[in-house]
Amino acid sequence: MIRRRLSLRYLIPLFILALGLVALGTTYVLNIRHAVQQLERNAEDTMRTLATVTAGTLEAAYRGDDTDQARAAIERLAGHRRIHHALMVNPDGMVEHATRVRWLNAPVSELEHGVPATLVAHLTTSRSARIEFGPQRSVLHGAFPIRIRGMAETFVPETRAWLMMAFDLTEAKTALRRDTLARLAIWALLLLLGCAVLYLFLRRTVLTRIVKLRAATRAVATGDFSSQPSIRGTDEIADLAEDFRTMTRNLRSYQDRFQALNFRDAQTGLYNRHGLERHLSQALADAHDSNRPWLLCNFDIEGIKVINSTRGHAAGDALLAQVAEHLEKMSLDKGIPARIVGDEFALLTPVQGRKTEELVHDIHASLESLRFQWEESSQPVRINLGAVVIDQSIDEVETATSLANAARLAAKDASYERVRIGRKDDPDLDLSTAPMRWVGSITAALESDRFELFAQEIQPSRLGSEPGLFFEVLVRLRQPDGELISPGMFLPAAEKYRLAGRIDLWVIKHLFEFFNAEPEHLKRISLCSINLSGLSLGSEQIIDLVSDELKRGALRADQLCFEITETAAITNLSAATAFIARLRGLGCRFALDDFGSGVSSFGYLKSLEVDFLKMDGMFVRGIGDDRTDRAIVKSINEIGHQTGKQTIAEFVETSEVADILRKIGVDYLQGYGIGRPMTLEKMLRRSTRRGRSALG
């Protein structure tokens, strides 16, 4: 039920009118009461006066035994305007004289209009006069004794009769009420006039100004702070209006600041996701209306979790600040820099006639030219970047952001150079590659054994120095339609949704099953290396599985090597140390992957009992042109050898890079220039053919 509120403009005059009416009503009641009381007192006085005069006449008539005189005295009373009736009653209660003939000689108690019983009883029980009202107080009854004094010496009067009278006050009281109402009607009109005058006064001085304040308040409630009520005066309402104007100015200022903060990242000062999407909507409209394409880059920073765990979050925040500052410098020419979340950033910039591939690689190169400075250490920054062109083929903001994010995830795959340009028609970058949507595919593939074992050969830098085949075990996902998916597409989702450990178990189990089924290949294998995710460090399932399979399988422990990334090892140092110790106790070996990506790589090397160091590919790729990368690779190689570890260089894609690594003294080489990934079965067959060829 909706309750309707009464406005002050009506409530105040109605309240005043109600008070006036209450006052008038009270006055009327009091006046009527007082006037009636006065009327009744006057009637009693008049009755007593008439009774005294008439009693004297009747006493004289009794003395002279003059009946006519007594009757005449009673009849004279009938002429009085207020007397309803008058009669004389003897001591026996019989009416002797009356203003009404039919009452003569009748008992007083039986008269038709009725004499109050109390008054009739009074005639026989008392000798004093008595006056009282009838039941409705409209008739005043009186009984007065008529005494005849005896001889002077006795002084004892004798009651010979009673004079009874009745005054009818009905008309008098009605006239009294009518006159009082007439006077009050005049006062009521004056009251209404006063209320109208007061209403106009309040409306001018109070109500109109309150209405203005109410309208301004309602505007503020809807978010409109432009309303500034102009109210003059020096009273409290004017002060309230001034305070209200001050409040709205402050609120408008706070709103502007809040809106600015709503589109800005508090930590870096860059645009946040909401701010980026607002500018992205404008860029999308510009691309459709003016056919001017824009480029959206989405990138993240590799290794920031390691920095947070080893150097503290202050170091991680410093890295974010340095990247943000560098990104702002890059965005001076109409670019929109943004921080999406965590270590994920974005850059929206106009293409301006440049080739997309050239622009994307220039942006990536500029970002990776940044070196993270913290205390006395310096470290290159590794960037995974995905980009998408905002043109007329992109119809929604969500499509652009999803493609850029999918391209960034694809850029994490080692087969790409940490850069990927997403296109709407690219089957590898369909929007279904969003991490959450991979969960169902990964789970289904695990349940139906649709993962496949691949391998990539790792060669010694000096040919002939290794007696057997050394390779890294890889995994691919086979879709129901036969499409083969590279790990860069689904592993990020597996890591995020904690499915990577199940994939590790699948790889280990099926690797043992493969060699148990085809043990003839084992004689040519020196070492097979298996990647483990950070979720598998400390896994009792993996330790139990490896232990059981080594006991009953054909694969020996010294042919088995496990790779863990430097990031995972440092993040879970205690778990990694214990895990490595238990599997090394079985005879297995370990490799530390992506070594050099952390700020404190060398400092933690002593704590990790590993056999191989796999250098981070970002140093190896540029070794031919970058002296700094070459110095870092040389330093890692020397540290590894001094600590009794062999070194492996990844991302060896050219013979020039391979020659430089051989001169430095790196022990093993891996990359597209050495051998591309292929199925495990195919690699083993090729190795068998090479062995037979060498024997022949």
- pLDDT tens digits, residue range 98-141? 888 888 888 888 886 667 888 888 888 888 899 998 877 889 99
**Beta bridge pairs of residue 387:** 297, 421
pLDDT over 50 at 693, yes or no: no
Q: Are residues 535 and 427 in the same domain?
A: no
CATH of the domain at 359: 3.30.70.270
Report which listed range, 283-297, 301-315, 457-471, is most confident: 283-297
Question: Which whole number is the average pLDDT over 7-20?
Answer: 76
Question: Which whole number is the average pLDDT over 212-216?
Answer: 76
Residue 1 belongs to a domain: no
Question: Which whole number is the average pLDDT over 275-280?
Answer: 88
**Beta bridge pairs of residue 301:** 383
Question: Which whole number is the average pLDDT over 627-640?
Answer: 90
Q: Which of 482, 611, 184, 507 is nearest to 499 (CA)?
A: 507
Distances from the Cα of 308 to the Cα of 88, 314, 320, 664, angstroms: 125, 8, 11, 32
| Neighbouring C-alpha atoms within 13 Å toward the C-beta of 288 | 10
Distances from the Cα of 204 to the Cα of 132, 507, 649, angstroms: 59, 88, 90
Residue 293 belongs to a domain: yes
CA separation for the pair 243, 401 (Å, rounded): 46
Q: Are residues 158 and 184 in the same domain?
A: no
Q: Are residues 540 and 635 in the same domain?
A: yes
Residue pair 191/43 in contact by the 8 Å Cβ criterion: no
Burial 495-510 (b: 16+ CB within 10 A, else e): beeebbbbbbbbbbeb
CA separation for the pair 605, 595 (Å, rounded): 9
Q: Are residues 538 and 673 in the same domain?
A: yes
CA separation for the pair 621, 617 (Å, rounded): 6
Question: Which whole number is the average pLDDT over 282-299?
Answer: 89
Place of tokens 């050969």: 457
pLDDT score, position 415? 47
Residue 96 belongs to a domain: yes
Q: Are residues 28 and 138 in the same domain?
A: yes
Q: Which of 514, 517, 572, 561 is nearest to 539 (CA)?
A: 572
Least confident span in 31-35, 191-195, 293-297, 597-601 = 597-601
Least confident span in 53-57, 181-185, 421-425 = 421-425
pLDDT over 60 at 426, yes or no: yes
Q: Taking the model in full, what pTM does it have?
A: 0.49
Residue 252 belongs to a domain: yes
CATH of the domain at 605: 3.20.20.450
- Beta carbons within 10 angstroms of residue 79's beta carbon: 8
Q: Are residues 277 and 208 in the same domain?
A: no
Q: Which of 260, 283, 285, 257 is nearest to 270 (CA)?
A: 260
- Beta carbons within 10 angstroms of residue 321's beta carbon: 13
Residue 388: helix, strand or coil by DSSP? strand
Distances from the Cα of 346 to the Cα of 277, 298, 301, 341, 404, angstroms: 11, 4, 12, 10, 9
* Model pLDDT for residues 47-61, shown as the tens digit of each residue: 999 999 988 888 888
CA 678 to chain CA centroid, nearest Å: 52
pLDDT score, position 10? 72
- Beta carbons within 10 angstroms of residue 487's beta carbon: 21
Last residue of a domain, one of 232, 260, 288: 260
Question: Which whole number is the average pLDDT over 442-450?
Answer: 92
Residue pair 435/495 in contact by the 8 Å Cβ criterion: no
Q: How deeply is 594 buried, as exposed, middle or buried, from its count of CB atoms within 10 A (0-12, 13-18, 19+)?
A: buried
pLDDT over 70 at 695, yes or no: no
Burial 443-462 (b: 16+ CB within 10 A, else e): eebbeeebbbbbbbbbbbbe
pLDDT score, position 296? 93
Mean pLDDT of all residues in the chain? 84
pLDDT score, position 599? 45
**Beta bridge pairs of residue 162:** 89, 145
CATH of the domain at 155: 3.30.450.20
What is the number of residues in the chain?
696
Last residue of a domain, one of 168, 203, 229: 168
Residue pair 443/454 in contact by the 8 Å Cβ criterion: no
DSSP structure class, residue 110: G
| Neighbouring C-alpha atoms within 13 Å toward the C-beta of 356 | 17
Place of tokens 């652009």: 400
pLDDT over 80 at 314, yes or no: yes
Q: Are residues 590 and 504 in the same domain?
A: yes
Q: Are residues 449 and 590 in the same domain?
A: yes
Q: Are residues 252 and 291 in the same domain?
A: no
Q: Are residues 367 and 449 in the same domain?
A: no
Give 559's contacts (C-beta < 8 A, 6+ positions apart).
Answer: 522, 525, 526, 527, 528
Last residue of a domain, one of 371, 400, 431: 431
Longest dimension (CA), the chain: 188
Q: Which of 532, 548, 614 is nearest to 580 (CA)?
A: 532
Q: Are residues 480 and 606 in the same domain?
A: yes
Sorting pLDDT into bands at 50, 70 and 90, what band is 592? Answer: very high
Residue 466: helix, strand or coil by DSSP? coil
Q: Are residues 449 and 483 in the same domain?
A: yes
The boundaries of the domain holding residue 194 are 176-260
**Beta bridge pairs of residue 471:** 457, 528
Residue 613 belongs to a domain: yes
Q: Is 267 left (phi over 0), alpha (psi -120 to 50) or beta?
A: alpha
Give 360's contacts (C-beta < 8 A, 6+ positions apart).
Answer: 295, 297, 385, 387, 419, 421
CA separation for the pair 312, 432 (Å, rounded): 36
Q: Count how many domains the chain has.
A: 4
Q: Which of 304, 399, 396 is nearest to 342 (CA)?
A: 304
CA separation for the pair 382, 343 (Å, rounded): 12
pLDDT score, position 154? 47
pLDDT score, position 584? 95
Residue 635 belongs to a domain: yes
Residue 3 belongs to a domain: no
- Beta carbons within 10 angstroms of residue 130's beta carbon: 18
CA separation for the pair 382, 302 (Å, rounded): 5
Q: Is the dihedral of CA 109, 113, 115, 116 positive or negative?
A: positive
Q: Which of 566, 555, 487 is nearest to 527 (CA)?
A: 555
Residue 696 belongs to a domain: no
CA separation for the pair 110, 104 (Å, rounded): 12
Sorting pLDDT into bands at 50, 70 and 90, what band is 151? Answer: very low
